[in-house]
Structure 1
Amino acid sequence: MTETTDPGSGPADHPGPGDAAEGTRAGMSHSTRSAIEWVAVIVGALVVALVVKTFLIQAFYIPSESMVPTLEVGDRVLVNKLSYSTGDIDRGDIVVFARPGGPGSDGIEDLIKRVVALPGETVEGRGGQVLIDGRPLAEPYLPDALETSVFPPYVVPEDHVWLMGDNRGASDDSRRFKAVPTDDIVGRAFVVIWPFTQLGTL
Structure 2
Amino acid sequence: MPPLSPPDPQSQPSRSEALAPIESQIEGKSDPNGSSKTGQPDPGSSSWWRQHRENIITILLAVVMTIGIRTFVAEARWIPSNSMLPTLEVGDRLIVEKISYHFRDPRRGDIIVFDPPERLNFEGAYIKRVVGLPGDRIRIADGTVTINDVVIEEAYIFEPPDYSCPGTCPGISSQESDFVVPENQYFVLGDNRNDSQDSHYWGFLEKDNIIGHTILRFWPFNRLHYFGAQTYDDIPS
**Could you tell me the TM-score, scaled by structure 1's length?**
0.80
Shift in alpha-carbon separation, 1:23–1:198, aligned structure 2, 3 A: same
1:131·1:137 contact (CA, 8 Å) conserved in 2?
A: yes
Shift in alpha-carbon separation, 1:88–1:51, aligned structure 2, 3 A: same
Alpha-carbon shift at residue 134 of structure 1 (Å): 2.5
Quick one: which of 47, 67, 71 aligns to 1:54? 71
Percent identity reads 37
Q: Which stretches of structure 1, 4 residues or more, deviate above 4 A after TM superposition?
A: 23-32
Quick one: which of 57, 80, 84 aligns to 1:67? 84
Which structure's CA Rg is the greater one? Answer: 1
Query: Which residue of structure 1 aligns with residue 218 of structure 2?
Result: 193
Alpha-carbon shift at residue 196 of structure 1 (Å): 2.1
* 1:151 aligned counterpart, secondary structure: coil
Alignment of 1:19-168 (within 5 A): 21-22=31-32, 25=35, 28=41, 32-101=49-118, 104=121, 108-143=123-158, 146-148=159-161, 149-152=163-166, 153-168=178-193
Alpha-carbon shift at residue 87 of structure 1 (Å): 1.6
Structure (1/2) with the larger strand percentage = 1
**Could you tell me the TM-score, scaled by structure 2's length?**
0.69
Quick one: which of 200, 204, 209 aligns to 1:184? 209
Alpha-carbon separation, structure 1, partners of 2:94 and 2:185: 23
Shift in alpha-carbon separation, 1:121–1:21, aligned structure 2, 3 A: closer
Alpha-carbon shift at residue 85 of structure 1 (Å): 0.8
* 1:157 aligned counterpart, secondary structure: coil
Alpha-carbon shift at residue 138 of structure 1 (Å): 1.4
* 2:62 aligned counterpart, secondary structure: helix
User: 110-119 or 56-65: which moved more?
Assistant: 56-65
2:74 aligned partner, one-letter code: I
Alpha-carbon separation, structure 2, partners of 1:39 and 1:176: 51
Query: Which residue of structure 2 aligns with residue 15 of structure 1?
Result: none
1:103·1:110 contact (CA, 8 Å) conserved in 2?
A: no
2:34·2:47 contact (CA, 8 Å) conserved in 1?
A: no
Structure 1: gaps of 5 or more residues:
1-18
1:103·1:109 contact (CA, 8 Å) conserved in 2?
A: no
Structure (1/2) with the larger helix percentage = 1
Alpha-carbon separation, structure 2, partners of 1:20 and 1:86: 60
* 2:179 aligned counterpart, secondary structure: strand
Alpha-carbon separation, structure 1, partners of 2:57 and 2:31: 28
Structure 2: gaps of 5 or more residues:
1-28, 167-177, 228-237
Alpha-carbon shift at residue 197 of structure 1 (Å): 2.1
